[in-house]
Chains A and B, each alone.
Chain A
Amino acid sequence: MKPDVPDNLILAFLTGTADDRQLDELSEWIAASPEHARYLSAIANVDLVLTRHFRQRAIEQPADEMHPLVENLDQEVWQEVLNSAAEARLHRERQLQELLRLEQDAKVLPHSVDSDSAMPQPRRQTEGALTWREVADASGYLLVNAVKSAPAKWVAAAAVILLAATLLIVLNTSNGTATDPGIVEGTPGPPPLESPRPVVAKLAAQHDARWQATTGTTAPGLGDGLHPGQRLTLTEGLAEIMTARGTRLLLEAPCEVEFTEDNNALQLVSGQLFASVPPQATGFTVQTPTARIIDIGTEFGVEADEEGTTRLQVYDGEVRAAPIGADGEVGEYASLTTNQAVSIQLHTGLQADVFDPGRHEQDILIAGMRPEPEECEMWWRGDVSMYQQTGREKSEAIQVFLEKPGVLITEDLPVDLNWPGRWLPNKQAQQNAVVKAGERVDVYLVHYDPPSGDGFADEGNFKLRFDGKILGVICDSQSLAAAPESIRNRTRYPELAKGRGGPGLDFEFGDRVRIHPNTITLQCELIATTFYDQMLVLVRSRE
């Protein structure tokens, strides 16, 4: 049984701030039960094992666990970092080890080999090209491990590694794996034919989209109505389609869809889409060559590959899915709920699959036309991939506002981050970035509100994709204060923020903001405590 613990007394004692009265009270509590003394000793022991845990991590950075990036770096630099760290960490133990050397097999440091297997793996090893996250994590990991209470050379060495990491990203992306400037966005096909057919959906937004125009099909333009029987083949980029019933579909190339007479249904010929279905569109149906999927009010991702396998993942709510046989007959429906996944094949039918939250990213495409922009020009509001530990299924934690569209930057504008970049509030990796004069930008405000404000569990992890290159992000309150009024609109902040003292930013340690190498994706890992987090995102205007 856990003892009733006087936390305030213990805290005052452990931090050396207890007064005589508190010490007397604590003494009484300790003496009252062996359990009490045991509890306090156990808390002290946690302190001890924590020290050992982190020392173990610092010393046991073995060569065979090096990140591939590190292996390519100047080995002398790397060795110096390692040596310095290990030397400093070992310094305190060295004399004692000497003393105990007589006992040859004595385990001076309690670093058992077994404990390695229980260590959380900080990252997975990759065989191919590094992702930005992996490189960023690697450099951050090195920084954390190298920049101790440390000689300047560690910091310098870590900085070299970070620089190399950034350079690698630049080289990787300039290789054509990211945005290729040669792509013509939204390449128009033949002009849309006038048609009496009903409009069942509209193309709401697109980014770097290329549509394949084949016989009988037309490449849609932004805002174009989409008709029953119309087949769209997205060969590159992203597109967002809003159905007449309000279902939001995010298509990622390569993807081929066909609209039907039913304005609440869609055929996914191949490729993948993410669907967010509002209550009024309950019953929205996606049919693939091997499955029929009926929404019961939810968010789900579905992909159909060339080999006839349909994969379905439910992010929220409920979905019913049934296999379609070779004769076109629809089989028995199975019900799937949040975080469940199935794969459906022609011959094997429906089989449980592993839910993979990363398979269909719940990205938000902040772009282009919306059917009914709200009065305050809030572009998007909702909950995105909140960490499970929050225990909250839905919220309005993320809100995106269009602050000011088409602002001409007249002087170089300092920002906290531009592409490619990763911003941390402790500024270890912050870049001195600017948006150049002459750029025309759309300024968005991204607002993240802590749902409970208890300070420990309110973490949000989300991605926003914009329909233009992200030129800069302003995350820091000082930068925001220094930013010209031309890019800000002080009146368009959420009511909740006003109630907490008006516009402001509360980025802090633990927050991370990244612009992906594709230049349009902003990834945020935010931890809001007692206040909200806000940032301004400057996106190149599409004019």
Chain B
Amino acid sequence: MRDCTDMGSPETNNSQMQRFAKLWVRHQDAAASYIRLFVSDPAHAEDVLQEVAYSAAGSFERYDPDRPFTGWLITIAKQRIVDHYRREKKRMMLLSGEAMDCLAQASAEIASPGFSEERLKALNICIAKLNARQQEVLAFRYSQAQSPNDIAEKLGSSTSAVNALLYRIRKLLHHCIEDRIEATQV
């Protein structure tokens, strides 16, 4: 078994790391959701999330436990997203500071502990309601990690049409998930 130093992780004492691990497991989805707003490629988004984990673990001693952990994570995520765009030499979609704050807060709410699991359960059912084409486009994107450009080639379509289709599917799934969760709560 490798230890953390193999991965360049900072030295932390055992109890601190346990505390971080607990918090991370409960709140990582807030950061993950926030990252998805700005990083559309799932693999890249996961890379950024890992970088957030490293940074957060490395600087955990500086975390003020009186403040929300998700807010702290998302602050780190913002920096790592900017780093990602620099690396990729791409133009970042910059929103106003107020809008960014609103999204940070919303991400923390939407991805509260356990919420993604609940959404994942609902998603399993909602995906089954999509038509074959929609399901297979999703499989292309999320299972085979193909870019919208690659999918467009397969479909004989345009990248923008595939992006529109993927967005439309996500909207459908979102409404379906919300409806199911609402029904469960009722």
Q: A147 near B: Cβ within 8 Å?
A: yes
Complex interface: chain B residues within 8 A of A92 (CB)? 43, 46-47, 50
Q: Is the CB of A51 within 8 A of B42?
A: yes
Q: B186 near A: Cβ within 8 Å?
A: no
Give residues of chain A (97-113) contacting chain B, Cβ–Cβ below 8 Å: 98-103, 106-108, 110, 112
Query: C-beta contact mask, A39-62 vs B, less than 8 Å → 1, else 0?
Result: 111111111111111101110000
Q: A280 near B: Cβ within 8 Å?
A: no
Q: Is the CB of A45 within 8 A of B7?
A: no
A459 to B140 alpha-carbon distance, docked (Å)? 19
What is the chain B residue whose CB lies nearest that of A106?
Answer: B25
Give residues of chain B (131-186) contacting chain A, Cβ–Cβ below 8 Å: 131-134, 136-146, 148, 154-156, 160, 163-164, 167-168, 170-171, 173-175, 177-178
Distance in angstroms from B151 CB to nearest chain A CB is: 8
What is the chain B residue whose CB lies nearest that of A387?
Answer: B131
Q: Is the CB of B40 within 8 A of A508?
A: no
Q: B81 near A: Cβ within 8 Å?
A: no
Q: Is the CB of B105 within 8 A of A34?
A: yes
Q: A148 near B: Cβ within 8 Å?
A: yes
A108 to B6 alpha-carbon distance, docked (Å)? 19
Complex interface: chain A residues within 8 A of B139 (CB)? 54, 144
Give residues of chain B (59-78) contacting chain A, Cβ–Cβ below 8 Å: none
Q: Is the CB of B25 within 8 A of A44?
A: no
Query: C-beta contact mask, B78-117 vs A, less than 8 Å → 1, else 0?
Result: 0000000000001101111011001101110111000011
Q: Given known contacts A95-B7, A110-B117, A118-B121, is B173 in contact with A16 (CB within 8 Å)?
A: no
Query: C-beta contact mask, A112-150 vs B, less than 8 Å → 1, else 0?
Result: 101100111000000000000000000000001101110
Q: Pick the most buried of B2, B132, B148, B154: most chain A CB atoms within 10 A of its CB.
A: B132
A28 to B102 alpha-carbon distance, docked (Å)? 11
Q: Is the CB of B40 within 8 A of A15?
A: yes
Q: Given known contacts A45-B33, A509-B155, is B142 in contact with A149 (CB within 8 Å)?
A: no
Q: Given known contacts A115-B120, A148-B145, is B102 in contact with A100 (CB within 8 Å)?
A: no
Determine which of B34, B57, B141 lies in contact with A99 in the assembled complex, contact meaning CB atoms within 8 Å: B57
Give residues of chain A (27-43) contacting chain B, Cβ–Cβ below 8 Å: 27-28, 30-31, 34, 36-43
Q: Given known contacts A30-B102, A120-B128, A527-B132, is B174 in contact with A40 (CB within 8 Å)?
A: no
Q: Is the CB of A38 within 8 A of B110?
A: yes
Query: C-beta contact mask, B1-19 vs A, less than 8 Å → 1, else 0?
Result: 1111011010000100110
A477 to B117 alpha-carbon distance, docked (Å)? 45
Main secondary structure of the interface of B (DSSP, over half): helix
Q: Is the CB of B155 within 8 A of A508?
A: yes
Query: C-beta contact mask, A147-168 vs B, less than 8 Å → 1, else 0?
Result: 1110000000000000000000
Chain A: interface size category: 35 or more
Q: Given known contacts A10-B167, A149-B144, A510-B133, is B117 in contact with A106 (CB within 8 Å)?
A: no
Query: C-beta contact mask, B26-68 vs A, less than 8 Å → 1, else 0?
Result: 0001001110110010110111001001000100000000000
Distance in angstroms from B68 CB to nearest chain A CB is: 16
A46 to B130 alpha-carbon distance, docked (Å)? 14
Q: A11 near B: Cβ within 8 Å?
A: yes
Give residues of chain A (341-398) contacting chain B, Cβ–Cβ below 8 Å: 387, 389
Q: Is the CB of A147 within 8 A of B144?
A: yes
Q: Is the CB of A30 within 8 A of B36?
A: no
Q: A489 near B: Cβ within 8 Å?
A: no
A42 to B110 alpha-carbon distance, docked (Å)? 6
Complex interface: chain A residues within 8 A of B178 (CB)? 42
What is the chain B residue whose CB lies nearest that of A112?
Answer: B117
Main secondary structure of the interface of A (DSSP, over half): helix
A525 to B131 alpha-carbon distance, docked (Å)? 12
A525 to B138 alpha-carbon distance, docked (Å)? 19
Q: Is the CB of A16 within 8 A of B90?
A: yes
Chain B: interface size category: 35 or more
A199 to B35 alpha-carbon distance, docked (Å)? 76
Q: Is the CB of A456 within 8 A of B143?
A: no
Determine which of A37, A459, A525 lies in contact with B105 in the assembled complex, contact meaning CB atoms within 8 Å: A37
A39 to B109 alpha-carbon distance, docked (Å)? 11
A106 to B20 alpha-carbon distance, docked (Å)? 11
Determine which of A26, A45, A56 lies in contact with B36 in the assembled complex, contact meaning CB atoms within 8 Å: A45
Q: A213 near B: Cβ within 8 Å?
A: no
Q: A457 near B: Cβ within 8 Å?
A: yes
A54 to B135 alpha-carbon distance, docked (Å)? 11
Complex interface: chain B residues within 8 A of A426 (CB)? 154
Q: A24 near B: Cβ within 8 Å?
A: yes
Determine which of B24, B45, B107, B110 lies in contact with A100 in the assembled complex, contact meaning CB atoms within 8 Å: B24
Q: Given known contacts A98-B4, A102-B17, is B142 in contact with A51 (CB within 8 Å)?
A: yes
Q: Is the CB of B124 within 8 A of A115?
A: yes
A534 to B125 alpha-carbon distance, docked (Å)? 33
A40 to B99 alpha-carbon distance, docked (Å)? 11
Q: Is the CB of B142 within 8 A of A34?
A: no
Distance in angstroms from A82 CB to nearest chain B CB is: 15
Q: Is the CB of A16 within 8 A of B40?
A: yes
A201 to B65 alpha-carbon distance, docked (Å)? 87
A280 to B3 alpha-carbon distance, docked (Å)? 82
A101 to B128 alpha-carbon distance, docked (Å)? 34
Determine which of B40, B96, B144 lies in contact with A24 in the assembled complex, contact meaning CB atoms within 8 Å: B96
Complex interface: chain B residues within 8 A of A114 (CB)? 121
Q: Is the CB of B32 within 8 A of A48?
A: yes
Q: Is the CB of A11 within 8 A of B18?
A: no
14 further contact pairs, Cβ within 8 A, besides A114-B121, A459-B132: A15-B40, A16-B40, A39-B174, A41-B37, A41-B110, A42-B178, A50-B123, A52-B120, A56-B120, A99-B53, A99-B57, A112-B120, A115-B124, A525-B132
22 A-B contacts (beta carbon < 8 Å) = A2-B175, A15-B148, A15-B160, A30-B95, A31-B98, A40-B103, A41-B106, A43-B167, A45-B33, A45-B116, A51-B45, A54-B142, A54-B143, A58-B143, A96-B53, A98-B6, A98-B7, A100-B24, A110-B29, A148-B144, A508-B155, A509-B137
B-side interface residues toward A, CB under 8 Å?
Answer: 1-4, 6-7, 9, 14, 17-18, 21-22, 24-25, 29, 32-34, 36-37, 40, 42-43, 45-47, 50, 53, 57, 90-91, 93-96, 98-99, 102-103, 105-107, 109-111, 116-117, 119-121, 123-125, 127-128, 131-134, 136-146, 148, 154-156, 160, 163-164, 167-168, 170-171, 173-175, 177-178
A-side interface residues toward B, CB under 8 Å?
Answer: 2, 7, 10-11, 13-16, 18, 23-24, 26-28, 30-31, 34, 36-54, 56-58, 92, 95-96, 98-103, 106-108, 110, 112, 114-115, 118-120, 144-145, 147-149, 387, 389, 426, 456-457, 459, 508-510, 525, 527
